[in-house]
Amino acid sequence: MKKIIILLILFDMFLFFRTGVSQSFEFKGDSPFGIQIMNFEDTSRLAYKYIFRDMDSDGDLDLFLFGLDESDTISTNTVVENLRYFLEIQENIGNKYNPVFKEREKRFEDFNYPTNGGFCIPDINDLNGDGKQDIVISAEVDSFQNQYLRFDTQTSDNKFETTLCDDYDLSPFIKGSTFFPELVDLDMDGDLDLLLSGGIPSFKTEDSTEYYFIYAKNTGSMTEPAFLGWFTSPYGLQANTFPEFLTSGDIDMDGDIDILGLRKKDTLTTLEYYENKAGSDGRPVFSSSIPSPFGLPVAKKRIESFYFPSLVDIDGDGDLDMFLPRNRVDTLLDENNNYVLDTAFVLEYYENQMCIGGYESIAERICMGDTIYINDQIFTTSGEWDIEVTNEQGCVSVTHLTLEVLPVSTTNIKETLCYGDTFYINNNSFTESGIYELSLQSITGCDSTVIADLDFVKIDTTYIVETFCYGEVYNFNGVDYTETGIYETTMQSHMGCDSTIIADLEFIKIDTTFVEETLCYGEKYIVGDDEFTETGIYEIDLVSTFGCDSVVFADLEFVELDTSVLKEGSVLTAHFDTDYYYQWFDCITNEDISGAKENVFEPDYSGKFAVRISNDMGCSQVSGCYDEIASGLIAT
């Protein structure tokens, strides 16, 4: 019987969407999801730009890693020459909601990187809509040291065809220029435009640079790009007086493209947010930059550096998260208790808190030929699917459906009956031994086949095993039994067949149990329905698992720890006991104070403090909180 199942999934995970809350990013850790910032075998090929794109068109985001491989330095004048770059990938073998990246792969070793001293800062995207990722690089350098924007379009055989910006009627930049490309649909017309940040040598002041945002609008299409440019300060996007690294995306989820820049001033690095407040005609309108908003990090002045940030919806919940390469510096104490700086290059992951969706799994079973509807989607075959629901804000919640389509089932029945009885299967009657096959409907509602193997016999032997309490009487075929033993009698079964019954009877005497336990003060010891919290010897009458009377004698001891504290000046002294362990903690933050593990404690800052006392039994009690004003602080 075919039927239609309409499954209304309202996705309770929408309750977790943070609609109407302020923008914020939360640091989640370094190099998540298996991202490898370097070759860990020899610490080579440290990547400083991370680009997330669907390289293999499987619906999830893979990772392109770019960096400087090697260079030659002339020691006499510190000129860096013969720059050699690398571009590697990490394939996403998870999915768009739960990414897992494979180990790094070298797929672009033969790529034609810029020569003649050209630096190489790429962006990667599908420029011509063929499903393959193309590369835009700044810049190729000619014999006159002019800087060219270069386009490398990936072909069907995974090679690259190279063209320069002048092939698109875009002029090169003068000697000494530095620009970083970003492929982005800035005007939201469906194709990729070019947005560059960087600078050119100043004609006003020697050895100085003037910095700009420049823009080339794609006047072609998604498949045949053509560019009109260059335009400086597009849509009011004003550059600062220092170079910026750009990334873009709809950060505030209002339907347009915002800009996140990374500005470097000497060794000071800040993140700059340019909000797009598009007009009624949809044209972008950028506001002045805001430094490090939404909880975005700020570099430690002059000792830390940020590199190219990446905005990407890495968890598929509808908002843009951020990855930030960072030269992180922490202050540590060395073995001589001197403060030293510990430097490490890391890739920090910040999760956008605009959307906190979810990934829920459900399993359904239907009969073959049936149909299941989930949120206007139709499913008729076994398999697994991810079903997305997007709310008005743009946040996405996902339900993973595992569907099993049940085939026609076969059930085997084997029965032994008395000769002369009748066996029924779905209104079909049987009185003779044999094997019978019937077509029925199973308990799942699906069509099924029943195969019944029936045996009609005369003599039947039954074994009975019973347990009774001492003093009870078991009547067996008209005879009362009160002692443990095995008894046999011949009688007629309930089916009317002659039968032999063998009864194995056990009569259990009253059970007495002795228990000795040591517990912590405040714990409960439960016997049956009784609870005990004080030291003592108790006698408890119970009923055993067989329903017989039983007695439990419980010898209980409850250990109470001494939590008294003596306050003398700024010193707190807890009661000392060699069996005690001490841990002082801050009553306000509820955080343990490192190293404060003795019964005597003198805080080095003012606040409220208490001690947590425990012993080897696992007992733990907490003293009251004491106000303390530290006697003095040590400057660090």
Percent of the chain at pLDDT exceeding 70? 88
519-562 pLDDT, tens digit each: 898 888 888 888 888 889 988 878 776 678 788 888 988 888 88
Rounded CA-CA distance 501/630 in Å is 86
- pLDDT exceeds cutoff 60 at 585: yes
- pLDDT exceeds cutoff 60 at 13: no
Give domain status of residue 15, yes or no.
no
- pLDDT exceeds cutoff 90 at 168: yes
Rounded CA-CA distance 315/249 in Å is 15
End-to-end CA distance of the chain: 80
Rounded CA-CA distance 596/628 in Å is 15
Q: Are residues 525 and 501 in the same domain?
A: no
Q: Give the pLDDT confidence score for residue 58 in this predicted structure.
A: 93
Residue 230, preceding bond cis, omega within 30 degrees?
A: yes
Give domain status of residue 636, yes or no.
no
Strand (E) positions, 18-108?
25-30, 49-53, 62-74, 79-90
- pLDDT exceeds cutoff 50 at 10: no
Given its phi and psi angles, is residue 496 left (phi above 0), alpha (psi -120 to 50 degrees) or beta? left
Cα angle for residues 516, 517, 518 (degrees, 5° grid): 140
Q: Give the pLDDT confidence score for residue 285 in this predicted structure.
A: 94
Structure tokens at 439: 């077509």
Contacts of 340 (CB under 8 A, 6+ apart): 331, 332, 333, 334
Q: Are residues 161 and 205 in the same domain?
A: yes
CA-closest candidate to residue 593, choices 612, 577, 580: 612
Q: pLDDT tier at 116 (50, 70, 90 boundaries)? A: low
Cα angle for residues 397, 401, 404 (degrees, 5° grid): 175
- Write out the DSSP string of 231-244: EESGGG----SS-E
In the predicted model, what is the mean pLDDT of residues 113-131? 83
Q: Are residues 248 and 371 in the same domain?
A: no
Strand (E) positions, 266-338?
268-274, 290-291, 305-306, 310-312, 321-333
In the predicted model, what is the mean pLDDT of residues 227-244? 86
- pLDDT exceeds cutoff 70 at 305: yes
CA-closest candidate to residue 125, choices 61, 189, 69, 177: 61
- pLDDT exceeds cutoff 70 at 613: yes
Give domain status of residue 548, yes or no.
yes
More confident residue, 636 or 295: 295
Q: Are residues 423 and 474 in the same domain?
A: no
Residue 139, preceding bond cis, omega within 30 degrees?
A: yes
How big is the chain by its Cα radius of gyration, in Å? 39
- pLDDT exceeds cutoff 60 at 149: yes
Q: Are residues 328 and 236 in the same domain?
A: yes
Contact 542, 552 (CB under 8 A): yes
Give domain status of residue 599, yes or no.
yes
Q: Give the pLDDT confidence score for residue 552 in this predicted structure.
A: 86
Q: Give the pLDDT confidence score for residue 64 in this predicted structure.
A: 96
Give domain status of residue 278, yes or no.
yes
Beta strand 359-367 with 396-406 is parallel
Q: Give the pLDDT confidence score for residue 496 in this predicted structure.
A: 63
Q: Are residues 516 and 504 in the same domain?
A: no
- pLDDT exceeds cutoff 70 at 171: yes
Given its phi and psi angles, is residue 202 left (phi above 0), alpha (psi -120 to 50 degrees) or beta? beta
**Report for 93-107, 268-282, 286-300, 364-378: range of highest mean pLDDT:** 93-107
176-217 pLDDT, tens digit each: 888 899 999 999 999 999 999 988 888 777 778 888 899 999
Query: What are residue 234's phi and psi, to 5 degrees?
Result: -65, 140
Q: Give the pLDDT confidence score for residue 53 in this predicted structure.
A: 96
pTM score of the predicted model: 0.63
Give domain status of residue 8, yes or no.
no
Q: Are residues 278 and 368 in the same domain?
A: no
Q: Are residues 551 and 593 in the same domain?
A: no
Q: Give the pLDDT confidence score for residue 493 in this predicted structure.
A: 63
Give domain status of residue 577, yes or no.
yes
How many other CB atoms are there within 10 angstroms of residue 294's CB atom? 20
CA-closest candidate to residue 170, choices 215, 200, 130: 215
Q: Are residues 504 and 517 in the same domain?
A: no
Q: pLDDT tier at 277 (50, 70, 90 boundaries)? A: very high
Query: Whole-number mean pLDDT of the chain?
Result: 84
Give domain status of residue 432, yes or no.
yes
Residue 466's DSSP bridge partners are: 505
| Eight-class DSSP state of 98 | S
Q: Give the pLDDT confidence score for residue 8 in this predicted structure.
A: 47
Q: Give the pLDDT confidence score for residue 633 in this predicted structure.
A: 45
Q: How far are the Cα atoms of 201, 383, 514, 526, 549 from residue 543, in angstroms, in the given order?
A: 95, 52, 15, 15, 5
Q: Are residues 413 and 401 in the same domain?
A: no
Which residue range forms the structural domain that includes residue 573?
Answer: 565-628
Q: Are residues 274 and 206 in the same domain?
A: yes
Structure tokens at 72: 């030659």
Q: Give the pLDDT confidence score for residue 587 in this predicted structure.
A: 95
Q: Are residues 131 and 60 in the same domain?
A: yes
Rounded CA-CA distance 247/252 in Å is 14
Question: Considering its fold, how many domains does the chain have in total?
Answer: 6
Query: What are residue 60's phi and psi, to 5 degrees?
Result: -120, 170
65-95 pLDDT, tens digit each: 998 887 665 544 444 556 778 999 999 999 9
Contact 246, 182 (CB under 8 A): yes
19-33 pLDDT, tens digit each: 444 689 999 999 999
